[in-house]
Structure 1
Amino acid sequence: MIEEAVDRVVDTVEGQDSPSLHGTVRVSAPDGFGTAFATPALVRVRRHHPQLQVELITATRQLALRPSGFDLAVVIGVPSSSRLVTEHLTDYTLGLYACDDYLAKYGRPKSLAEPREHPLIFYIESVLQVGDLDIERHLPGMAPAFSSTNVFAQLEATRQGAGIGVLPAFLAQRTQLRRLLPDEIDIRLPVTLAVRREAVTHAAVRTLWAALLQEVAERADELLPE
Structure 2
Amino acid sequence: MNTLPEWTDLRFFLELARAGTLSGASRRLEVEHTTVARRIDRLEIQLGTTLFDRSREGYELTDMGQALLPHAEAMESAALAATEQLGGTEVAAHGVVRLGVPEVFGVRVVAPLLVGLLQTHPDLSIDLLVLPRFANLANREADLGVMLDPPSTGRYMITRLASFRFYLYASPDYLARHPPIREHADLARHDFVDYVQDRLASRELSYLNELGFTPRRRLCCTGMTAQVEAASLGMGLIMAPPYAVPDDGRLVPVLDQFFAERSFWLAAPTDLYRLQRVRAVWNLLREYSDRQPSLFVHGKEEPATRRSMPLAGTTSRDGGNPSS
Shift of 1:80: 1.8
**What residue number does 2:256 align with?**
182
Q: Say whether the 8 Å CA contact 1:98–1:165 is kept in structure 2.
A: yes
Partner of 2:231: 158
> For residues 55-98 of structure 1, what are the alpha-carbon distances to aligned partners after superposition, in whole Å with 9 as ceiling and x for unaligned?
11122424523423100100124442324220011111111111
Question: What does residue 91 of structure 1 align with?
Answer: 163
Deviation at 1:164, TM superposition (A): 0.6
For 1:49 and 1:76, locate their aligned partners in 2 and report how far apart those are by CA, in whole Å: 29
Unaligned runs of 5+ in 1: 1-16
Distance 1:81 1:97 in 2: 37
- Partners of 1:217 and 1:52 lie apart in 2 by 24
Q: Which residue of 2 aligns with 1:204?
A: 277
**CA distance 1:193–1:129, shift in 2 (3 Å):** same
- How far 1:149 moved relative to its partner? 1.9
Q: Is the 8 A contact 1:93 1:223 kept in 2?
A: yes
1:149-182 Cα deviation digits (max 9, x unpaired): 2212111111100111111122226231221111
* Contact 2:132–2:201 under 8 Å retained in 1: no
Distance 1:19 1:85, change over 3 A: closer
Which residues in structure 2 correspond to 1:38-187 (within 5 Å)? 38-135=110-207, 137-140=209-212, 141-142=214-215, 144-172=217-245, 174-176=247-249, 177-183=251-257, 185-187=258-260
**Which 10-residue stretch deviates more, 209-218 or 72-81?**
72-81
User: CA separation of 1:135/1:203 partners in 2, compared to 1, >3 Å: closer, same or farther?
Assistant: same
2:297 is matched with 224
CA distance in 1, matches of 2:226, 2:218: 14
User: Per the alignment, do residues 168 and 175 of structure 1 end up closer, same or farther by CA in structure 2, a change over 3 Å counting?
Assistant: farther
CA 1:108–1:59 in structure 2 vs 1: closer, same or farther (change >3 Å)?
Answer: farther
In the alignment, is the contact (CA less than 8 A) between 1:71 and 1:199 conserved in 2? Answer: yes
Q: Which amino acid aligns with 1:135?
A: Y
SS in 2 for 1:186: strand
Three-state SS of the structure 1 residue aligned to 2:256 is: coil
Equivalent position SS for 2:218: strand
The whole-number CA distance in structure 2 between the counterparts of 1:31 and 1:197 is 25
Query: Which amino acid in the other structure matches residue 82 of structure 1?
Result: G
What residue is the counterpart of 2:62 in the other structure? none
- Give the aligned residue type for 1:215: Y
Which residue of structure 1 lines up, in the alignment, with residue 102 of structure 2? 30
Pick 1 or 2: higher relative contact order, CA cutoff 8 A, min separation 6. 1
Quick one: distance in 2 between partners of 1:145 and 1:135?
16
Pick which of 57-66 and 197-206 moved more. Answer: 57-66
Flag structure 2 segments of 5+ consecutive residues without an equivalent.
1-88, 300-324
Distance in structure 2 (CA, Å) of the matches to 1:128 and 1:67: 21
**When the two structures are superposed, what TM-score results if normalisation uses the length of structure 1?**
0.84
Identity of aligned residues (%): 25
Instruction: Tell me, yes or no, if the aligned pair for 2:193 and 2:236 is still in contact at 8 Å.
Output: yes
SS at match of 1:113: helix
Kindly state the Cα deviation for residue 52 of structure 1 after the two structures are TM-superposed: 1.3
User: Structure 1 residue 143: deviation in Å?
Assistant: 5.2
More off after superposition, 167-176 vs 95-104: 167-176
